């Protein structure tokens, strides 16, 4: 157990350094390509920070542990909004481009609605899982062409600055390696501790694994706030949630049919809807996610985590 704690500390150090590299390189890539930070956060950064969820969920599905596979994807989406947006907003208010935000949020909500519909009978078979993957690819294609439209002929940097772009890509890749490696170490060691305590796999997926695989987004968000670019983090969260629900759930369902219990379906889906409504309402109402809004999201997340412990205990006692 002592070594597990040491490995967890090492993982946090890897994640912290990877998050710094991620933010710096993403800003450089966005500047060199003349792409807004929110768009870069919703595409490049979100695809990379979603890699831990994708790897963990697909491996869990192949091992037959559908509780972790689906709980990780849904729990990470909840964690992204409650813990990460809440933390970043508490550090510094987030300005929101309402039109661009709403365009991206539509995809996120669509992905959530499809997951809920496809698993209404508490099973996700390969055909609807394939439909989710197709939806994810449509989202990525829409994102790609959106970036192309937002690029202009006049760039803020010399178009021939290939060396600067190459260095930014290298730093982005290094940040990705550190983040994925740190996530693996953290999830593996944290999961061992949780299993030793006899916690069901669905609860592990919704809590420990979800928080562990969301740490890249958390570190990236804190780094973005510290560097004065919190809109990068919000774009990352919207994009990461969309990819979680489309690509991660779809890929896990293609590997093996997913089956979820009544508690996972009713509890996690209800909270997913609550957090999505909360962040959309807070962002669109004023065009900012203020510190008070961040505190509100963090309190909601605390209630959600507490419920993961209390509700099953009450249910088992009845």
CATH at residue 192: 1.20.1420.30
Domain that holds residue 84: 2-149+162-317
- Residue 296 within a domain: yes
- Residues 210 and 186: beta-carbon distance below 8 Å: no
In a domain, 251, yes or no: yes
Mean pLDDT on 178-206: 70
More confident residue, 213 or 141: 141
DSSP string, 189-221: HHHHHHHHTT--HHHHIIIIIHHHHHHHHHHHH
**Residue 192 located in a structural domain:** yes
pLDDT interval class at 154 (50, 70, 90): very low
Per-residue model confidence (pLDDT) at position 11 = 77
The mean pLDDT value for 277-290 works out to 89
On whether residue 73 sits in a domain, the answer given is yes
Domain count, the chain: 1
Strands (E), the chain: 94-95, 123-124, 258-259, 288-289
Q: Is the model's pLDDT at 160 over the cut of 60?
A: no
Within-domain flag for 157 = no
Within-domain flag for 133: yes
- pTM summary value: 0.81
Is the pLDDT at 318 greater than 70? The verdict is: no
Task: Assign 153 a pLDDT band (cuts: 50, 70, 90).
Answer: very low
Q: Is 156 within the bounds of a domain?
A: no
Q: What are phi and psi of 94, to 5 degrees?
A: -105, 120
* Backbone torsions φ then ψ of 6, nearest 5 degrees: -65, -40
109-141 confidence digits (pLDDT tens): 999 999 999 999 999 999 999 999 999 999 988
The answer as to whether 167 is a domain residue is: yes
Which pLDDT score is estimated for 150? Answer: 60
Mean pLDDT of 244-248: 93
């Amino acid at each position: 157990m002592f070594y597990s704690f040491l490995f967890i500390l090492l993982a946090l150090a890897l994640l912290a350094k990877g998050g710094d590299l991620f933010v710096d390189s993403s800003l450089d890539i966005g500047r060199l390509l003349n792409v807004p930070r929110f768009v870069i956060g919703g595409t490049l950064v979100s695809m990379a920070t979603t890699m831990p969820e994708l790897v963990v969920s697909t491996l869990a599905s192949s091992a037959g542990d559908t509780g972790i596979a689906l709980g990780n994807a849904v729990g990470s989406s909840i964690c992204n909004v409650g813990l990460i947006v809440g933390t970043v907003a508490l550090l510094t208010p987030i300005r929101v481009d309402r039109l661009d935000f709403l365009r991206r949020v539509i995809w996120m909500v669509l992905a959530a609605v499809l997951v809920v519909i496809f698993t209404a009978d508490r099973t996700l078979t390969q055909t609807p899982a394939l439909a989710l993957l197709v939806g994810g690819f449509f989202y990525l294609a829409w994102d790609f062409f959106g970036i192309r439209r937002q690029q202009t002929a006049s760039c803020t940097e010399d178009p021939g600055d290939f060396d600067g772009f190459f260095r930014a890509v290298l730093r982005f890749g290094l940040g990705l390696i550190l983040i994925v490696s740190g996530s693996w170490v953290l999830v593996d060691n944290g999961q061992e501790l949780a299993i030793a305590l006899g916690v069901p796999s669905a609860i592990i997926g919704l809590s420990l694994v979800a928080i562990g695989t969301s740490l890249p987004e958390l570190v990236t968000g804190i780094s973005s706030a510290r560097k004065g670019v919190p809109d990068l983090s919000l774009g990352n969260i919207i994009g990461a949630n969309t990819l979680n629900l489309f690509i991660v759930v779809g890929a896990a369902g293609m590997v093996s049919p997913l089956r979820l219990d009544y508690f996972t379906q009713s509890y996690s889906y209800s909270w997913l809807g609550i957090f999505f409504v909360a962040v959309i309402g807070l962002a669109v109402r004023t065009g900012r996610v203020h510190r008070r809004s961040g505190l509100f999201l963090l309190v909601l997340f605390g209630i959600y985590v507490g419920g993961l412990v209390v509700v099953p205990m009450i249910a088992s006692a009845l």
